[in-house]
Structure 1
Amino acid sequence: MKIKALAAALCLFTLPVTAMANTELVDKTRQAQQVQKAHNAEREAGFKQTEKEIRAQLNALKAKKKQLQQETDQLSETFSDNENKLAQLEEQLRLETGSLGELFGVVRQSAKELDSEMEFSVTGADRHAFKDVVEEVVEAKALPSLSQLTALWQGMSDQITASAEMRKVTVPFINGEGYQSDVQAYRLGSIGLIGEQGYLAWDGKRQVATPYLKQPEHGPLFGTLSPLMDSGIQAAVVDPSRGIMLEQLANTPELKDRIEHGGVVGKIILGLLAVGVVIALFRGIKLLVIRQQIKSQLKTPAQPGNNPLGRVLSVYDKEQNRSVEALELRLLETIVDEQQGLEKGLSMLKLLAALAPMLGLLGTVTGMIETFQVITQFGNGDPTVMAGGISMALVTTVLGLIAAMPLLLAHNVLSTQAETIRNILEKQGISLVAAQAEQAGSAA
């Protein structure tokens, strides 16, 4: 019973404690819900504020887009109007400047011709007043102004006036050693410059004068023109081609240059020609002396001298006591010996005459080989590159023919002279044999 009563008492005590605990839990739960609700309300207010701001920005962007679209439409319309106006203005400009365009083309062409004339002509050595204006007209993209046209006309007039003048000028000069100095020269209109060395080549781009490699014979000099200018007489030999003929004069080779073009083979051919000429002259003089001696010997046959015919007559005097056959053989032997002396050197002349064209052909082949090598290395676009081999090929052939013809002619002439002398000796020998035969017949 006591236990039951104790248990009942405990139950009665526990109930108020549990009730109190539940009440505290409910209060805490409510507080937590209130805090959560307040937090949610705060977050919801923030979301609404953000949505409001974003919507305001969206509206602002839409308004700006609309404004930009209106401005774009307005600019497009303005651009179209400007395009139309520009097309109308261009058409109007084309119609109004039709004839002026043709005039502008003529002006530019005239300016180009004048600029070229002032650049390469010797008149540019002392006249530069209108060169800048002329260059402006040449490079202009629009119609020239009145001042430019006036300056162009003045430049053309000045150029015409300069082409008729003969005056003293000071020009930059580069000598053969490469040193530059200012020298005085006479300008002959627009044709040429004459300095102390003769004609001067004018370089309009560099604005300097250089001497020509070769001057014409009896060409004018600065010193010879000065007295003429002081006396009022203006006369000089001129090159109407403005230097082209003077440049070609330097390219005209002399005999020494042609020999140099022949190379080693050409010099060998000339050496053979010299040897042949010496032999021909020596043998020609020798045969001429022998003919004179024979002519004198024919006048005095009884007195044999120191000459071919005299030696033949000496054989006859020594062989009178022998038979006709023996005398004939002795005379034939003497004539053969004399013939060898008469024909001495003629075989060498014949050999040289035959060898010279062969050497010329050798030089030709060598020159063509060099030409083909140059063509292989550099192509055949520039003929001056091949000039060396071609010159050697042609010059050696010419030298070979030039050497062969006089040598062959000398051999023929000397052979004829030797043959004539031999015939005289044979004729005299036959006459001596006939006289010996007559004496032998009379004695029998």
Structure 2
Amino acid sequence: MKHHLAKISLVLASVLFVLPTYASQSLLNDTATAKATEQQHNKQREAEFSSQEKKLQSQYDALVKQRSDLNKSIDSLSAQFQDNEQKLSEKEKELTLATGSLGEIFGVVRQSAKDVQLEQERSVASIGLKQDVATINDIIAAKSIPSKDQLYGLWQSYVHQIRVSSQATIINVPFVGGSGEIEHKQVLRMGAFALADDNGYLVWNSDKQIATSYTVQPKQALTLNTDMRAEMPVVAIDATRGALLEQLANNPTVMQRIEQGGLVGKIILGLLLVGLLIGLYRAVILMSIKSKITKQLKDVESPSDDNPLGRVMLVHKQDQSPTIEALELRLLEAVMDEQETLEQGISTIKLLAALAPMLGLLGTVTGMIDTFQTITQFGNADPRIMAGGISMALITTVLGLIAAMPLLLVHNLLSSLSEGIRNLVEKQGVGLVAQSAERKHSTDSQIAQEATA
């Protein structure tokens, strides 16, 4: 048994000894093979690296050469650029010297063209001169020295403006009437000042190239029928080319002035009308009374009760007073009654004459209050905002004075007329008293003489 175990142990030991030796040999062989392969691969890579290095070196040498060539080219171009800069500076100096006078001409031409353009925009003389307008616009918009054709066109524009401005001609223009439709009609062009049709002056819109009528025409307005061949035609010419004619529409009429006076202005005019009616009525009555008194003076023996003098004379005729003093009082009473009748309405006219300026002052104060209220709300930057209140203030004052002056005149005339009639009646009454006194004195003297006898 022991001997058998020893064999087995010996065999196992032999196996264990042989196996590591075999494995080590196989590993060495594999390592040698891998090393040979790696060396072969390294040789190939080294060959590739060497080839790549030569290629890069070649490219590097080419780039270095190219850089050298470019540096040489840059040096050459820099020298040429400096030479060109020097030549350009010299040429610019020559150009400045050569074009100095032309530059001044360019400035003068452009300024002259702007003057012509301004004249074309505001003058009716440019109607029908579209080519001149286009030429002037081209000269103004140009950035270079004008050409010979443009200079000739500028000269022609001057010639056309001068020729048209010196003539009165009939032309056709687009016209917008009250209906808003555009029609072509014949108009008279008075030089560079105005256009006129059968109804008067026209407004010319240079932007829209249409004509319209002015709202208000001046007296002796130019019309299409005006005989311009007459030796001295009398027409109203607006030297401002429409500015004054446009202002005519801003001048209010009498009714517009009254409207500006507001309610106070209407009340003042109402007082004036009432006062004048009363004055006219009383004037007619007083003139009629004066006429009847004149007629009564021619027939003192037959007094009538249709006039103050006749009624006073009737009082004297019908009087049965025992004394002269009583008769005088009766006649004085009759004269005072007639005076009251004669002065009817005159005090009313005086009251209206005093009320009119006071109402005008009231309107002035009201208008100024309105003006200050407007200033509070909108400021005083625009005077037109305050114009309404100021206009009302001034118009009511004017209306008050206008109403007061004729009323005072009527009051004075009626007072003088009434006073004349009263003085005449009073004078005749005094005469009647004197007549009665003389008659009574004569009677008393006669009675005394008879008693003495």
Instruction: Name the TM tier (shorter chain).
Output: 0.7 to 0.9
Within 5 A, what are the aligned runs for 1:28-427?
28-31=30-33, 78-223=80-225, 225=227, 237=235, 239=237, 241=239, 242-298=241-297, 300-301=299-300, 303-306=302-305, 307-321=307-321, 330-372=330-372, 383=383, 386-427=386-427
**In 2: Cα distance, 1:369 partner to 1:407 partner:** 29
**In 2: Cα distance, 1:246 partner to 1:253 partner:** 14
Letter paired with 2:395: V
- TM-score after normalising by structure 1: 0.81
2:130 is paired with a residue whose SS is: coil
Unaligned runs of 5+ in 1: none
Deviates more, 1:319-328 or 1:107-116: 319-328
Aligned residues: 440
Distance 1:91 1:329, change over 3 A: same
For 2:451, the equivalent position in structure 1 comes to none
Q: How far has the Cα of 1:409 moved from its partner?
A: 1.8
1:237 is paired with a residue whose SS is: coil
Distance 1:170 1:84, change over 3 A: same
For 1:14, the equivalent position in structure 2 comes to 16
**In 1: Cα distance, 2:69 partner to 2:322 partner:** 155
Q: How far has the Cα of 1:276 moved from its partner?
A: 0.9
Query: In 1, are the aligned partners of 2:139 and 2:146 still within 8 Å (CA)?
Result: yes
Query: In 2, are the aligned partners of 1:111 and 1:134 still within 8 Å (CA)?
Result: yes
Distance 1:12 1:339, change over 3 A: same
RMSD: 4.0
**In 2: Cα distance, 1:171 partner to 1:114 partner:** 22
1:105 is paired with a residue whose SS is: helix
Query: In 2, are the aligned partners of 1:320 and 1:436 still within 8 Å (CA)?
Result: no
Query: In 2, are the aligned partners of 1:191 and 1:238 still within 8 Å (CA)?
Result: no
1:210 is paired with a residue whose SS is: strand
Superimposed CA distance per residue, residues 72-97 of structure 1 (whole angstroms, 9 cap, x where no aligned partner): 66665555444433332222222112
1:347 is paired with a residue whose SS is: helix
Query: In 1, are the aligned partners of 2:238 and 2:245 still within 8 Å (CA)?
Result: no
**In 2: Cα distance, 1:40 partner to 1:322 partner:** 184
Deviates more, 1:97-106 or 1:80-89: 80-89
**In 1: Cα distance, 2:264 partner to 2:191 partner:** 48
Distance 1:330 1:170, change over 3 A: same
Q: How far has the Cα of 1:340 moved from its partner?
A: 2.5
**In 1: Cα distance, 2:318 partner to 2:56 partner:** 159
**In 1: Cα distance, 2:141 partner to 2:8 partner:** 130
1:186 is paired with a residue whose SS is: strand
For 2:25, the equivalent position in structure 1 comes to 23
Query: In 1, are the aligned partners of 2:356 and 2:403 still within 8 Å (CA)?
Result: yes
**In 2: Cα distance, 1:144 partner to 1:413 partner:** 82
Letter paired with 1:268: I
**In 1: Cα distance, 2:207 partner to 2:433 partner:** 93
Distance 1:350 1:235, change over 3 A: closer
Identity %: 48
- TM-score after normalising by structure 2: 0.79
Letter paired with 1:105: G
**In 1: Cα distance, 2:78 partner to 2:371 partner:** 72
Unaligned runs of 5+ in 2: 449-453
